[in-house]
Amino acid sequence: MSETNQPSAELKALDRLVGTWAVTGGAEGTVRYEWMPGRFFLSQHVELTQFGEPIRGLEMIGNLRPFGEPTGSDVMSRYYDSMGNTFDYVYELTGDKLTIWAGAKGSPAFFEGAFSADGTTMTGDWVYPGGGGYSSTMTRI
């Protein structure tokens, strides 16, 4: 096998998210990120209220590696919530800027945020095609 069995550098960069964050803005509550053993997947546990509705969710973030295929280059995720939704995303962290594309990289629906210099907050916006979206701030607790 020519490929090393190590998490990608792009996935390892998301270590900055590990911990519990208070979320304010268009959705309110907490999110918690933690590594699965092996550090190939980062899980996000979501407890938010949005538009007056409680939302509980679980997101698994990592590089795809289907049976017998090489590891994909993009950091992908699938989110599952208490409303029965499943959403797919692509994570891209460049310096202090995190972009979360809805569906595929380059999508017109995305989140773009920036970490503060000390890494204790992330402030950004969810952007939706045709307008809409909302601002969001995460503060490490």
Q: Output the domain CATH number for residue 132.
A: 2.40.128.20
- CA of residue 98 relative to chain centroid, distance: 9
Full domain range(s) for residue 44: 9-140
Q: Average pLDDT for residues 93-115, to the nearest whole number?
A: 97
Whether the pLDDT of residue 4 is over 90: the answer is: no
The reported pLDDT for the residue numbered 2 is 41
Whether the pLDDT of residue 3 is over 80: the answer is: no
Whether the pLDDT of residue 1 is over 50: the answer is: no
- Whether 3 is in a domain gets the answer no
- Whether 4 is in a domain gets the answer no
Whether the pLDDT of residue 58 is over 60: the answer is: yes
Q: Average pLDDT for residues 14-41, to the nearest whole number?
A: 97
Whether the pLDDT of residue 132 is over 90: the answer is: no
pTM over 0.85: yes
Whether the pLDDT of residue 78 is over 70: the answer is: yes
Q: Average pLDDT for residues 76-85, to the nearest whole number?
A: 97
Name the domain count of the chain. 1
On average, the pLDDT of the chain sits at: 95
- Whether 1 is in a domain gets the answer no
Concatenated DSSP letters of the chain: --S--S--HHHHGGGGG-EEEEEEESSEEEEEEEEPTTSSEEEEEEEEEETTEEEEEEEEEEE---TTSPPPSSEEEEEEETTS-EEEEEEEEETTEEEEEESSTT-SSEEEEEE-TTSSEEEEEEE-TTS-EEEEEEEE-
- Whether 112 is in a domain gets the answer yes
Whether the pLDDT of residue 99 is over 60: the answer is: yes
- Whether 65 is in a domain gets the answer yes
- Whether 2 is in a domain gets the answer no
Which of the four pLDDT bands, split at 50, 70 and 90, describes residue 86? very high
- Whether 116 is in a domain gets the answer yes
- Whether 55 is in a domain gets the answer yes
Q: List phi, psi (to 5°) of 15.
A: -55, -25
